[in-house]
Amino acid sequence: TQLLEQSPQFLSIQEGENLTVYCNSSSVFSSLQWYRQEPGEGPVLLVTVVTGGEVKKLKRLTFQFGDARKDSSLHITAAQPGDTGLYLCAGVGSNDYKLSFGAGTTVTVRA
C-alpha cells in the first residue's frame, strides 16, 4: 500500500492541452516533492513545497501544497511532447527524513 496515492495513473493528451496530476495522503508531511523520471534514468527533482497552501510556478508548471500538508497537485499548461514522462510525488516524513513515493503518473503528450 502506497502512503501517497497519485491519480490518474496514466494520462495521454494532445500537445497544447492542460493537465493536472493529484497526490493525496492521510499523513502530514514536512515537505512534498515532485520528480520527473524518463526511461532508464533516475528521477529528477522539479520542486519542493514546504508551507501549507504554498503555490510554486516553474514556467508552465504550477505546484500546490494543500493547507493541511497532506496533498498536492501538479498542473501543466499548454503541454508539450517534452513534458512526456513519469511524474512522481514524494513526501518527507514529519518525524524522520524518509522519502515516501507515490506510484507515479505516466504522462504522454502527443504532437
Q: Does the bond joining 81 to the residue before it have cis omega, within 30 degrees of 0?
A: no
Residue with cell 491519480: 7
Considering only residues 21, 102, 105, 107, which one is a binding residue for other proteins as defined by CB under 8 A?
Answer: 102
Closest distance of CB 21 from other proteins, Å = 15
Considering only residues 23, 88, 107, 109, which one is a binding residue for other proteins as defined by CB under 8 A?
Answer: 88
Interface with other proteins in residues 43-82 (CB under 8 A)? 43-45, 48
Residues 6 or more apart whose Cβ sits within 8 Å of residue 7? 21, 22, 24, 105
Considering only residues 26, 42, 82, 111, which one is a binding residue for other proteins as defined by CB under 8 A?
Answer: 42
Helix (H) or strand (E) segment spanning residue 33: strand 29-37
Q: Is 104 in the site for other proteins (CB under 8 A)?
A: yes
Bridge-based pairing of strands 61-65 and 10-14 is unpaired
Strand partners, 106: 10, 86
Closest distance of CB 45 from other proteins, Å = 4
Site of interaction with other proteins (CB under 8 A):
2, 33, 35, 40-45, 48, 88, 90, 96-104
